[in-house]
Amino acid sequence: MHLETKRAHFTTPLYLESGRILEPYDIVYETYGKLNEDKSNVILVCHALSGSHHAAGRYEGDRKAGWWDGLIGPGKAIDTDRFFVISSNVIGSCFGSTGPMSEQYLSNEPYRMKFPVVTVKDMVKAQMNLLSSLGIHSVQSIIGGSMGGMQALQFAVDYPNFAKSIIALAATYATRPWAIAFNKVAIEAIRRDPRFNNGNYAKDAFKEHGCDGLAIGRIAGHISYLSPASMEEKFAKKYVATDGLFELFGRYEVERYMEYNTNNFSRIFDPLSYLYIVKAINTFNLSRGYESLHDAVSRIKADTHLISFKGDMLFFPEEMAHLANMLKRNGQSYSYHEIDSDYGHDAFLVELDKFDYIISDILKGL
């Protein structure tokens, strides 16, 4: 598979939903496959909170492939023998696109907490500018899970003539209090970490030892991404063999798993970026800027395909079902699939075999 990572630099201002301006800004993106002559074979893939532009394939030295490698590639559900796939890193992230630790224009100092709050709508607008700069004015499909699904839905509402189809997985029409409450654990843990220092830390300050606040907050996130059934199956009540049962800080296997994964994560993900992206997720609401959710959804012209997961404890299936029912009442083209899964929210990243055929069938029909 032909894999390339590129950076686009924009000097024209990006007018944000908050009224602030981001200027200049960069977007890092990755492409797979070959763009045809009339640029009519494009699929845009959108990433979730902790994701990046690296959605598939491997670079030399990579320990693991991109986060949706099982879906993207020659002969896979998102077939790069047929489609030219673009995956861009959202603004606010820490993987190359302009974010809070990027240097301000005419300064060597990072934005830090002077970086403007960005929303999912802003992320989508920036990606539209990227695609326009590449001479791409329509796409075959926009696909994403979780925050990526939010972006796909926002594209469908804000730019109704841009995509032929939308495929949103494990997402919602508006972030609910349950999800915001989980995110609050991470926000407060990061803010109260002394080394966070109100955002005044040096670049790569946490590369070696990680950010304790982010690690703790990520534990809460991890719990929301899984489900009771998946935890029971994976860990049961197993105790770490080298830890004493009656040691105060002796651990069960589930505790060790949380420590290992969250500590590693806190070394590679910038805590300020985490705060900004969580803010974007918390403020997501398809109806904002329109008279109502019905008014927003009524704008959609793309064939809209919604996929939820039965065990999702973060964005519940009924949230996607509500959108599906609205599309049905409006007579809009849609499909809705609730996947029988006990894995939890992260099923969209893990249990690909339960839904890859759905995506494959949708794309074959384009």
Whether 73 and 32 have beta carbons less than 8 Å apart is answered as: yes
Place of tokens 């997961």: 309
Residue 146 appears among annotated catalytic residues? yes
- Catalytic residue chosen out of the listed positions 87, 312, 341, 346: 312
Q: Is the alpha carbon torsion for 87, 90, 96, 98 positive or negative?
A: positive
- Catalytic residue chosen out of the listed positions 50, 141, 146, 341: 146
Residue 312 appears among annotated catalytic residues? yes
- Residue-wise burial string across 24-37, b where 16 or more C-beta atoms lie within 10 A, e elsewhere: ebbbbbbbbbebee
> Which tokens in the block code for residue 207?
């590369």
- Catalytic residue chosen out of the listed positions 47, 222, 305, 345: 345
Q: Supply the residues annotated as catalytic.
A: 146, 312, 345
